[in-house]
Structure 1
Amino acid sequence: MNYKKLLFLLATGVSLTSLGFVGCTPQEPQAEAPEAPTTLTGQTEAPATALPPQERPGDVPYVPTPPAVVDAMLEVAGVGPDDVLYDLGSGDGRIVTTAAQKYGTRGVGVEINPELVQEATANAKEAGVSDRVQFVQQDLFQSDFSEATVVTLYLLPDINLKLRPQLLKQLKPGTRIVSHAFDMGEWEPEQTLEVDGRTVYYWVVPEEVPPNLLSN
């Protein structure tokens, strides 16, 4: 732009800012702020907060439980609206979400992977059960699941054995435990089911726990 043209533009009221001569960053049009989402009760929903990085590698690879197996696990446990279900290693949240949808069960998913926690939370919201379930990013070996009346697992044999003392120390007598695919060593299940080529194991926490089950 030559000097005469610049003087002409100044004389006609065109600002240097609009031409990009003032400041380092060109101005962009301001977008209207989106409205804050609201909950079913009409209250403003708090914006989602970023989860911390995963603190250590997971104990098992993420492999989703097939829907037919999920249904069988919930049926053998006899879950209902008065239960609190904890799914340890909850992945995309399908067990907790299905229990809430079909049986009105309250549930908590414990998952170490923050991306899966976010995915499970979104899935529960889409299913319309966010008021009954939550997903927490935690190391399951550092978790307190003593309020559970039902616990579901799809881990690995060595992880089940490592977790067994924690389960038996924390859980109340009568709490039901259901595992997809893997047992708990010398702790004999009360029922074993075969579902589409998959095995489901079912236990009930006893009034008196044999000492040998409290070690791994």
Structure 2
Amino acid sequence: MRRLNATLVGLVAIGLTTIGCARLTAPPPIPVAAPRLDVIWVASDLAVVMQMLRVAEVGPGDVVYDLGCGDGRIVIVAAERFGARAVGVDLDPELLRQARQNAVKAGVADRVTFREQDLFATDLREATVVALYLSPEVNLKLRPKLLRELRPGSRIVSHEYDLGDWLPERTVLVPLAERAHRVFLWRVPPGATLKPARLGMPP
């Protein structure tokens, strides 16, 4: 009888110890997914940046939005060389840190803003010029938003990739050592959201 009682006591003690350990052991942390980048940032050569801003006729009265701004070069050049206010949007915090530092070095930190934000969640109504260097797929996904939010007369300028069957107002080739780069310009017409067929798109 004593042996049985001792055995029962031992089993109960082991069980309590196991329960205690289970309660004290924290569950494994749930990994937090990094924000998904629609495209990998690739820098535009300064010659291409200058041509983009010239083609878009950027001036002191403009507000330039660069969607996928990376290190901020388009935003900074728009402010430094063309006198515009500019906003850069990106999801990469390290690139945005570099962009802010570059703006300070260029002396334009008071005229530019950088936002860690999804470009599809960015309010574009303030923009008079939108700069893109994304991908064909992202450009097409972005097109309805551009037409919905930008005011008539706003310009869209894209390095390398078009906007599908919306024909550009201008196409300019920028010759560089490795190849020629394309710059496209569109201007948002009146009633673009209501009458997409006017842009060469199916109604």
Distance 2:113 2:172 in 1: 28
1:54–1:112 CA contact under 8 A, matched in 2: no
Matched, 1:146 2:131: no
State how many pairs are aligned. Answer: 163
1:155 to 134, 144, 148: 134
Matched, 1:119 2:104: no
Matched, 1:80 2:62: no
1:203 to 186, 192, 197: 186
- Matched residue, 1:175: 154
1:29-84 CA distance string (max 9 Å, x none): xxxxxxxxxxxxxxxxxxxxxxxx98522111110000000000000111111100
**Larger helix fraction of residues:** 2
- TM-score normalised by the chain length of structure 1: 0.72
- Matched residue, 2:37: 58
1:178–1:203 CA contact under 8 A, matched in 2: yes
- C-alpha displacement at 1:211, in angstroms? 3.2
Mark the runs of 5 or more structure 2 residues left unpaired by the alignment: 1-31
- TM-score normalised by the chain length of structure 2: 0.77
- Matched residue, 1:69: 48
SS in 1 for 2:47: helix
SS in 2 for 1:135: strand
- Matched residue, 1:129: 108
Matched, 1:110 2:89: yes
Distance 1:121 1:100 in 2: 13
Mark the runs of 5 or more structure 1 residues left unpaired by the alignment: 1-52
1:110–1:135 CA contact under 8 A, matched in 2: yes
Change (3 A) 1:69 1:140: same
- Cα RMSD after superposing both structures: 1.6
Distance 1:190 1:93 in 2: 26
SS in 2 for 1:163: helix
1:64-114 CA distance string (max 9 Å, x none): 000000000000111111100000000000001001111111000010111
List, as ranges, runs of 4+ consecutive aligned residues in structure 1 with deviation greater than 4 Å.
212-215
Change (3 A) 1:144 1:176: same
Change (3 A) 1:185 1:127: same
